[in-house]
Structure 1
Amino acid sequence: MKGNSPGNIIKEYPQRGPIKQFRFDKVVAFECFRCGKQKKSKLITIYDDNWNKRMCNGCYGFLLSIYEIKAGTKSENDKVTELANILFKLVSKNEIRIASENLKIKDNRNKHLEEQSIRFLASAEHLSEKVGIEYSLDWSPLVIGLCKALENELVAKLIVPLKEYCLNLDLENDKLDKDIGRIAKYIVSDNSKPPEIGTFSHFLQTALNSKSRRETSNLIKSFYEFLSEYSFSNWILDKDGLLKSLQIVSKEYRNKAAHIEELSKSEFNNCKELLTGESGVIWKLNKAMN
């Protein structure tokens, strides 16, 4: 353990991921290394076994909520949803509104995104600036915000139009296919939840690689016919295009953010560049489906 205890510890609490609480016999004055506020308390939390990284109860609660989601037994998609909800709780409606307007001014391409996508991007962007350069804790909710923006664009610009295109198809056999069944069930259902990035990525991989299904699957045949109506859809049908991008987002960012690993500001910036940089995936997707 780094540093020295500031007093006489009378009780230690169980370790919760990278955070641990201690109770002292007397009130201790300290500065929370996360929020920078001056605090006095008998109960002090330290981060990463370092007495120089003392935290107040408010910051402890925030990090604990992230840790409990990531260490929990819920499905990966449920964890992603809960982490996204944390992101929105950290930013007020007015802050989201202002950040959304600033995004549209900063890059005109943002005006073509769905409003919910803008909310995710704006919340993550605003919070990344708000927490400051010195913030070194878990950036998972912010990374999830970026990933949810992509997922929302994927659903609105590609998956929902595909659903509308295929509404009158017979997809009974496709619904039984382990690789494309989830997408087929979504298309024929009136109230099913839209597929997530991983589900669509697997469908796309199957559509691009399975020659037999291109002959036998009504859904995959219609998928190619559907995309033929879009002049720039070659990027979607290129294995090094949308598929590769979705695989990178899932493996390097979305999945890690939903599990016990802590993501850094550097990973947030890398994900942001991948999705909304000059040649970002979100812009390529919008161009392909324009």
Structure 2
Amino acid sequence: MANSDGSAPFRFNVTKTYPARGPLQQYRVDTTTAFTCCRCGQVKKSKLITTTGGTWDRLLCNGCYGRLLSIWEIKSGSLDDTERYDELHRLLTSLVAEAEIAQAASLIRARDQRAEQLSREAMVVLSTAEAVASSLVAAATELDWSAAIIGLCKAVEIEALRLLVVPLKASVTQLDLRSDLSHRDMQRVARFCTGRGTPPELGTLAHFLTAASDPRRGLASSTLLASFRLLVRSWPASDWLFAPDGFPGSVTGLTRTFRNPAAHTELLDQTAYQECSTLVQGEDGILWKLLVATTG
């Protein structure tokens, strides 16, 4: 247990203090000393000790320090948001073994049969996040939970693209979208549909759907929206996609409360992960509502 003044416990004789990296602070001690890593739960012996969150009650082994340092460097780096999300997602997939991901996928399907309707890509991302979360010991760091939260959000993005944007793109292949390409509310989605841009992320999709249902936007002549209207007319429950408290509001809450903080230097804990998981895949989760809203 740490001393009341926050200094190292008696058994650690610190000889060097390294520069802090966000919530991570590494020290060198004079001789190999045993401790339990708060992340992997294993007893380690080392001269390198890392504290997390500024307390000696939560120590990290050097292997776990390296993994968490990678997460912090992405969160605090200069990448733009889209690249940051992608890098954190790639890192997330390296944190657990394929067998753990497969087991998590089985548990998700057993818990909710609706998961069978998700794409393979979305299931891999969702089960990876679950596998990471289930592997964490009680005292795991907020950096771990941030990475897992990114995975939950990525699953929503994958399904939104599959169910909304990909069908829309297929429906406008032979159409002239020049007017949409020049309209600020339409151009990001229009660029993707014409093969000129990257897939729109969640915030862009929420904005697109909000604009689509707002007559004040001056989009009555939009070729893209005319095609989208034809598409959604075959989906009886598609009104949820456009309602302020439907897809746009749900996604805005997901990105502002969870994804954006998780991708930047804010630290999110286990409670935040559980709240995000409920929003994404709970009984009335975004994933299930999205499936219903896009079913003919």
Q: TM-score w.r.t. structure 2 length?
A: 0.92
Change (3 A) 1:62 1:257: same
Quick one: which amino acid aligns to residue 219 of structure 2? R
Residues 213 and 220 of structure 1 are in contact (CA less than 8 Å); yes or no, is this contact kept in structure 2? no
Quick one: which amino acid aligns to residue 160 of structure 1? V
Quick one: which amino acid aligns to residue 128 of structure 2? S
- Give the equivalent residue in structure 2 for 1:276: 281
- Give the equivalent residue in structure 2 for 1:143: 149
Residues 34 and 43 of structure 2 are in contact (CA less than 8 Å); yes or no, is this contact kept in structure 1? yes
User: Would you say 1:119 and 2:124 are equivalent positions?
Assistant: yes
User: Would you say 1:164 and 2:170 are equivalent positions?
Assistant: yes
Residues 74 and 84 of structure 2 are in contact (CA less than 8 Å); yes or no, is this contact kept in structure 1? yes
SS at match of 1:214: coil
Residues 126 and 155 of structure 2 are in contact (CA less than 8 Å); yes or no, is this contact kept in structure 1? yes
SS at match of 1:103: helix
Change (3 A) 1:50 1:4: same
SS at match of 2:247: helix
Residues 15 and 28 of structure 2 are in contact (CA less than 8 Å); yes or no, is this contact kept in structure 1? yes
- Give the equivalent residue in structure 2 for 1:41: 46
- Give the equivalent residue in structure 1 for 2:161: 155
The 1-side partners of 2:110 and 2:81 are apart by 34
User: Would you say 1:71 and 2:76 are equivalent positions?
Assistant: yes
The sequence identity of aligned pairs, in percent, is 37
Quick one: which amino acid aligns to residue 44 of structure 2? K
The 2-side partners of 1:31 and 1:174 are apart by 58
The 2-side partners of 1:201 and 1:162 are apart by 15
The 1-side partners of 2:32 and 2:97 are apart by 33
The 1-side partners of 2:51 and 2:211 are apart by 47
Quick one: which amino acid aligns to residue 137 of structure 1? E
SS at match of 2:259: helix
Quick one: which amino acid aligns to residue 260 of structure 1? T
- Give the equivalent residue in structure 1 for 2:185: 179
The 2-side partners of 1:226 and 1:248 are apart by 26
Q: Which deviates more, 64-73 or 237-246?
A: 237-246
Change (3 A) 1:49 1:133: closer
User: Would you say 1:56 and 2:61 are equivalent positions?
Assistant: yes
SS at match of 2:245: helix
Q: Which deviates more, 157-166 or 98-107?
A: 98-107
Q: Which deviates more, 3-12 or 44-53?
A: 3-12
**Per-residue deviation, 1:107:** 1.3
The 5-angstrom pairing of residues 219-234 of structure 1 reads: 219-234=224-239
Residues 2 and 52 of structure 1 are in contact (CA less than 8 Å); yes or no, is this contact kept in structure 2? no
* Residue of structure 2 aligned with 1:287, choices 256, 276, 292: 292
SS at match of 1:216: coil
Count of residues paired in the alignment: 289
C-alpha deviations, 1:216-265, integer Å up to 9, x for none? 32212322232122111111121221110111111111111110011111
The 1-side partners of 2:214 and 2:72 are apart by 38
C-alpha deviations, 1:184-216, integer Å up to 9, x for none? 011111x74321111211212222224343313
C-alpha deviations, 1:64-105, integer Å up to 9, x for none? 011000000001111111111122111212222232233222
Gaps of 5+ in 2: none
Quick one: which amino acid aligns to residue 178 of structure 1? R
The 2-side partners of 1:180 and 1:106 are apart by 38
**Per-residue deviation, 1:136:** 4.2
The 1-side partners of 2:90 and 2:217 are apart by 41
Gaps of 5+ in 1: none
The 1-side partners of 2:183 and 2:90 are apart by 33
Residues 188 and 197 of structure 2 are in contact (CA less than 8 Å); yes or no, is this contact kept in structure 1? no
User: Would you say 1:196 and 2:196 are equivalent positions?
Assistant: no
Quick one: which amino acid aligns to residue 253 of structure 1? F
- Give the equivalent residue in structure 2 for 1:131: 136
Change (3 A) 1:25 1:136: closer
SS at match of 2:67: helix
The 2-side partners of 1:110 and 1:204 are apart by 25
**Per-residue deviation, 1:119:** 0.8
Residues 208 and 239 of structure 1 are in contact (CA less than 8 Å); yes or no, is this contact kept in structure 2? no
